Amino acid sequence: MKGRLLHQEPLSKYTSWRVGGPADRLYIPDDKADLCEFLKSLPKNEPVFWMGLGSNLLVRDGGIRGTVINTKGRLKEMKLLDDGSVYVEAGVPCPHVARFCTEQGLVGAEFLAGIPGTMGGALKMNAGAFAGETWNIVKQVETVNVLGQVKQRRPEDFKITYRSVKGLQDEWFLAAQLNLPQGDSLTSQLRIKELLEKRAKTQPTNQPSCGSVFKNPEGDYAARLIEQTGLKGHAIGGARVSEKHANFIVNINQATAADIEALIAYVQAEVKKSQGVSLQTEVCMVGDYCEVISG
């Protein structure tokens, strides 16, 4: 193997919330071929979890059993294919994809500039921002299974809904082909600039967060419901509901994953009580709870 295998590695170093216990094993692949070889070498029933930039993710304080594969800074190939589509590997940050498409004179991927994650994560959850959604521009995807075998799949192979993609069984996204129309590159660049300025103005981009915590209920906004309930600024431990954007929870003072999860549950309970709406989480919560030994 050409990649790096680390044991009992703290995942707080790899998550945008800066929280999370250790992974039994963390593998950082060298490239796609190396990753496939590594997967082939794993024991048959080894649990495998994938991470990109660690956004939209809460790793509990007890960490993750099994093997975590981290693609940050890896699986980063991106190119224009002969048919005009864009090939993007799973580790490429979404804002890089938006800029690359614009440079190629392609339009429709500008919204990706507002997603603080990788292409692999965007595919997994049908990430969206500023009225755009990932799978609306996907032509086909490349996946890898637990045996290290690469497969080609099309959008119709999955059940794709708002912030949800179902249909993968022991497979993970390796890459995507994006289908985008030609358009005005300058207009596209200005749109990206406008979106990034809006994001900086309305979201706490300078504080550790995971991005949006809750899904927007149909016809409404989670942030509006949370703000209406009077929860902006509410804190548990080192975690606080952002005063800049109510659908963000920020790590203000060495929060634990338990602080964040408790605040998520508190917000859900209070919004339900006050507004009669059950907020569903957008963030993925994984890993073991950490036993607290008193005395």
Cα 5 from chain centroid (whole Å)? 23
Query: For 73, left (φ over 0), alpha (ψ -120 to 50), or beta?
Result: left
pLDDT in tens, 204-243: 999 999 999 999 999 999 999 999 999 999 999 999 999 9
Is 65 domain-assigned? yes
The parts of the chain modelled with pLDDT lower than 50 are: 292-295
Answer whether residue 114 is part of any domain.
yes
3-state secondary structure of 155: helix
Domain that holds residue 47: 4-70
Q: Are residues 42 and 60 in the same domain?
A: yes
CATH number at residue 253: 3.90.78.10
Closest CA to 286 of 4, 7, 15: 15
Number of domains within the chain = 3
- Claim to verify: residue 194 and residue 90 sit in the same structural domain: yes
Is 35 contained in some domain?
Answer: yes
The reported pLDDT for the residue numbered 127 is 93
Are 40 and 134 contained in the same domain?
A: no
Say if strands 4-10 and 138-145 run parallel, antiparallel, or are unpaired: unpaired
Tens-digit pLDDT profile for residues 3-43? 999 999 999 999 999 999 999 999 999 999 999 999 999 99
CB atoms closer than 10 angstroms to residue 279 = 22
Residue 19 shares a structural domain with residue 103:
no
Q: Of the residues 70, 86, 120, which one is the last residue of a structural domain?
A: 70
Picking from 70, 93, 117, the residue at the C-terminal end of a domain is 70
Instruction: Output the six-digit token pair for 177.
Output: 């082909």
C-alpha span between 5 and 271 (Å, rounded): 43
**Type of residue numbered 21:** G
**Of the candidates 178, 201, 224, which is a domain's last residue?**
201
Query: Coil, strand, or helix at residue 161?
Result: strand
Catalytic residues: 163, 212, 282
pTM across the whole model: 0.91
Q: Are residues 15 and 66 in the same domain?
A: yes
The predicted structure's pLDDT at residue 293:
43
Distance CA 287, CA 55 (A): 15
Q: Cβ(165)–Cβ(126) under 8 Å? A: yes
295 assigned to some structural domain: no
